[in-house]
Structure 1
Amino acid sequence: MTFKSWKLCVINISIATSFFLLSYLFIYPFITKGVVFNGDDTWYQINRILEIKEGIKDGNFLPYVYTHSFGKIAYPLGIFYPEITIVPIAVLVLLLPHPVTGIYLGIAGYTLLSLLIVYSLLRKLGKTRSAAYIGSVLYAFSAYRTVDAFTRFALGEYIAMTFLPLCLYGFYMIVKGDRKEWVYLAVGFTGMLLSHVLTSFITVLFLVICWIISLFWDKNKLLTLLALLKAVAASILASLIFLEPFLEQEFFQKYGKPTPLLLSDTAQKFSDMFISALDNSMLQGWKEVFSIGFCLLLVLFLGIVLYKKMTNIGRLVYLVGCVSFVIASNLFPWNLFENTFISVIQFPFRILMLPTLLLAVAGSDLADIYFSKLSINTIKKLSLAIVIVLGILMMWNASVERLFKVTEYTSKGLYTNTSDFFEGVEYVDQYTPKKTIKYLPDIYTHTAILDNHSREVLIAESVNGKQMYSSSKFKVGRRVDLPVSYYKNYTVYQGNKKLKTNISSRNTIEVILKSKKPVFVEYEYTLLNKICYIISIVSWLVLSVLFLFRCFFKFKN
């Protein structure tokens, strides 16, 4: 190995090591407190992690039916909310003696992945090491990404942001003409789809709009379309493990729109978003406003001054980043989309993930412009880059410390190393069939109807991943309308006997008992479920090989 090769190896190892340290720094202020704080979705996401952990103990890494939480009503959240990218966190919680440590290390793991992905992609786009490093830190320690991780504790969205860079890079390269890079889009969108559906939906809308605009100058429209379709097909195959059972339930019966809200009401004022960014706010509360943070706002202003000196891709991401920042606010006519399929996004601020990434890339471009003007050696440029990164980190840490001063965040709903499942049934109506909604009070109280007239509160417990119901009034031949919503592939066993299930007038499961024993409700995996599992796993292996080949091919060149 030549001296140049050794030098390159040392540099890469040093960068990777620093990313490990930065990923731990991302969780350090939180993990040292020994608790998971009261983020907007903390109880919801913690319950998901714990349900998966219990499922793993029972030999099921992807439990469809949640039996310990959400009221112990055999709630199929695992079908409607992607679980796979939460599994690593659940494994850490299971293996480590302190669950809080496992949760935070899982969050750190996805920060490490984000740093590595953004840095690598910026290098592939021709950025210098220093500029790529600054761009990756801008993204990983951005205000909105931190809000998703801790203020909101929206784990699905936070993890999905890890794969967003791969999606946009793959799409850009395809449209640019390097269609062999379709695998990046396929891998990125697969990871995103297996993390959070709404984030995937927003990304699809964004990419479709960009593709339509690109048609005005794309001279190889058909080849571009074929490459995009190839990526889409690969993503669908790799995501069948989630998509098939999800779509099976969606087409089986009607569900309400999850937490229906008026977009015009939830859209944040642009002036408030500007002030929030200026303040680098990550604060929690109904009156608080989420934004891109001070560092990316600075990139936005510097871009105005240095726009003509930016590279073509720098200008592109800067303009699109600015536009998407405005669209995320009330300056965009969201009222026009109230009764359309777009209203499912609920909160326009979710679009902030786009300007967060795009302006981080633009920031990398600006860093290259700045470094190219300096007549100093590499060591001095590296030192300057370190100073810039330290500035980003100091500002981030100051904002986190302000978050800790929010009483609502630090004093209520805390998860500790001795905590169990959170109790509560909020949001259960999101994935409850429309016909069952009005009977939810009965379901929450585990109230069954015996022989079509008498009401009886059953005892509900979780046994080996199954929801068990028992009562002293169970007897042979008794008709029992169980307090469980009717879903496709739900089965009921009493002992070793499978009971015939019918749909009751409450749209719940009705059975005729064959003994006095308790009944067990579970999801019975179909042949199609199992086939889709296999297809997805094979697709992951194929995409992994293709992805690594493309990485090696580019590196070699």
Structure 2
Amino acid sequence: MYSYCKQTKKSILFSLIYTTMPYHLFLGLWNGTLGEFIAYTFLPIAFVGIYHIFWGDKNKWWLLALGMSLVLYSHLVSAFIIAMFIGVVIIFKLITPHFSLNTRIFSLVKAVFFTILTTCPFWFLFIIEGPVATPQDSFIVLHNLTDILNISINNTIGSGIGLILLITALIGGIFAYKKKQDLSIYLIGLFFFIASTNIIPYQIFNHIKIIRNTLGLIQMPGRLLSFSAVFLSVIAAELITKVINRFNRRKLITALTIMFSVVMFWSETLPEYSLLNKIPELSVSSKKGQILPTLKKISNNNYDDLFNYLIPAGETDYYHKTNQLTHSSINPLTLSIINHTCYINSKKTNLAPIKEGNNLINYKLETNGDSNIDLPIVYYPSDNVTVNGKKVHKKTSFRGTIYLHVNSGINNIKIKFEPPTFEYILMLIAILSWAWLMLLIKRPYKS
């Protein structure tokens, strides 16, 4: 924020408002959506980088590279939304008169290039280990505007933007319209807020293939609340700063504002902490195939019991992509993998690993003759399979698991994930790129 406005007071206010936004706290303190929760921290860095490339100091392109890289390592969907936003900005700039994209496009190219360098180990494995079953490309978990408004007004942890940002969304335009830049920021924040609700006809979009296969990757429009918070927090900080500057006792008003922010934070979190203390602990699953119940407490004593349940969604995310698997943890083929079902010459049997380690699983089985084995291990190209110490050829089974041929007798099978040597070369490139980026941060005007 300071890179954008060059005002310490305004930057502190932005940080307080943005950090304590209810949806942010919901992701980390309540829902445990840690990837998106961490990515939320880096969104302002990416967006201020976009600002500098297209409107501000184009020599600060490294801010976009830094922010985008950190977001990519945290939450791929958030990075996808930022990329779409950049695409919209480029289109807008192309149709804007008296704007030459040529003078700034090189800064964008440098940011993209550095982002690729700093994240290349991730991209390489993501590509070569495919095809994988990516998360469902359709709009799910749609929020009513009424629900988001209620959560925001009550200022409680959940899918809301909080009281301060809600007031900003409602009246911010009255104060922002005088400055074109502030008005643009306000309208973008308001758009993201509206787009997070079911006011947008997402159910209709699910039936339009081109939209479903692109925008549908967002899955949950409620995620756009994070992006709304980035822009509305800028306007909120601007409005509060104007109020503070009207009073003579600015230090007192500033202190009271910070205290108010702290009180707002505790008003959000205390009810949830109180509720957490009343939640019962997770009990042992009474039968196989039960879906993990919601609102149960996990401790060191019952942590292992967690793995006796099926998760409600996402079980097959990043499984090997086959036509047989669906996005459901109760799909029979998915269940067969979870329950360690092995097929020996197409005959079903349960096979538990005798040893598990870091990227390592060992099986021991005895066959009466040469046999074809379908192990309950999801297939990835970099899996190294050995039988009795000898590396063997593996194939993909009909359920996307490891399929191999073994000889008669006792077979000690070891499966270990071993990335190719090129992955380690890319890791070195990424480390050097990060070091280079740190140097550019210290000397931004010499880049």
| TM band (smaller chain) | 0.7 to 0.9
Of 299, 303, 317, the match for 1:430: 317
SS class of match (2:349): strand
Label 1:470 to 1:382 Cα distance change in 2 as closer, same or farther (>3 A): farther
The 5-angstrom pairing of residues 26-41 of structure 1 reads none
What is the CA-CA distance between 1:408 and the residue it aligns to?
Answer: 10
Contact persistence 1:493–1:521 (CA under 8 A): yes
Label 1:475 to 1:190 Cα distance change in 2 as closer, same or farther (>3 A): farther
Label 1:505 to 1:125 Cα distance change in 2 as closer, same or farther (>3 A): closer
What is the TM-score of this pair, normalised by structure 2?
Answer: 0.85
Label 1:313 to 1:411 Cα distance change in 2 as closer, same or farther (>3 A): farther
SS class of match (1:428): coil
What is the CA-CA distance between 1:254 and the residue it aligns to?
Answer: 5.6
Label 1:368 to 1:214 Cα distance change in 2 as closer, same or farther (>3 A): farther
Of 172, 178, 189, the match for 2:68: 189
The 5-angstrom pairing of residues 97-496 of structure 1 reads 122-215=1-94, 216-217=96-97, 219-250=99-130, 253=131, 255=133, 257-259=134-136, 261-263=138-140, 266-283=141-158, 290-308=159-177, 311-338=179-206, 339=209, 340=212, 341-374=214-247, 376=248, 380-406=249-275, 410-412=279-281, 413-418=296-301, 420-421=303-304, 422-423=306-307, 424-426=309-311, 427-432=314-319, 433-435=321-323, 437=325, 439-450=333-344, 452-460=345-353, 461-471=355-365, 473-474=366-367, 477-496=370-389
Q: Distance in 2 between matches of 1:523 and 1:161?
A: 31
Contact persistence 1:163–1:192 (CA under 8 A): yes
Q: Which has the higher contact order (CA 8 A, sep 6+)?
A: 1
Structure 1's consecutive aligned runs of 4 or more residues displaced over 6 angstroms after TM superposition are none
**1:534 paired to 2:422:** no
Q: Distance in 2 between matches of 1:213 and 1:294?
A: 32
Q: Distance in 2 between matches of 1:495 and 1:226?
A: 55
Contact persistence 1:436–1:508 (CA under 8 A): no
> CA offsets per residue over residues 202-243 of structure 1, 9 Å max, x none?
121122212322331462212222221221121112111111
What is the CA-CA distance between 1:406 and the residue it aligns to?
Answer: 4.1
Identity over aligned residues, as a percent?
A: 22
Q: Distance in 2 between matches of 1:411 and 1:534?
A: 47
Instruction: Give structure 1 stretches of 5+ with no counterpart.
Output: 1-121, 284-289
SS class of match (1:331): coil
Instruction: Give structure 2 stretches of 5+ with no counterpart.
Output: 282-295, 326-331
Letter in 2 for 1:323: F
What is the CA-CA distance between 1:308 and the residue it aligns to?
Answer: 4.7
SS class of match (2:269): helix
Q: Distance in 2 between matches of 1:528 and 1:409?
A: 51
What is the CA-CA distance between 1:150 and the residue it aligns to?
Answer: 1.5
Q: Distance in 1 between matches of 2:98 and 2:109?
A: 16
Q: Distance in 2 between matches of 1:435 and 1:542?
A: 44
Contact persistence 1:134–1:385 (CA under 8 A): no
Q: Aligned Cα RMSD in Å?
A: 2.6
Q: Distance in 1 between matches of 2:193 and 2:225?
A: 6
> CA offsets per residue over residues 37-77 of structure 1, 9 Å max, x none?
xxxxxxxxxxxxxxxxxxxxxxxxxxxxxxxxxxxxxxxxx
SS class of match (2:279): helix
What is the CA-CA distance between 1:249 and the residue it aligns to?
Answer: 2.5
Q: Distance in 2 between matches of 1:162 and 1:372?
A: 28
Label 1:177 to 1:314 Cα distance change in 2 as closer, same or farther (>3 A): closer
What is the CA-CA distance between 1:539 and the residue it aligns to?
Answer: 1.3
Letter in 2 for 1:161: Y
What is the CA-CA distance between 1:344 and the residue it aligns to?
Answer: 1.6
Contact persistence 1:436–1:485 (CA under 8 A): no
What is the CA-CA distance between 1:476 and the residue it aligns to?
Answer: 7.7
Q: Distance in 1 between matches of 2:368 and 2:429?
A: 44
Letter in 1 for 2:322: K
What is the CA-CA distance between 1:436 and the residue it aligns to?
Answer: 5.2
> CA offsets per residue over residues 308-343 of structure 1, 9 Å max, x none?
56x554333222111211121122232453232211
SS class of match (1:239): helix
Q: Distance in 1 between matches of 2:442 and 2:205?
A: 41
SS class of match (1:275): helix
Q: Distance in 2 between matches of 1:336 and 1:219?
A: 36
Greater displacement, 321-330 / 437-446: 437-446
Match of residue 289 from structure 2? none
Letter in 1 for 2:35: G
Contact persistence 1:241–1:532 (CA under 8 A): yes
Q: Distance in 2 between matches of 1:301 and 1:407?
A: 33
Letter in 2 for 1:258: P
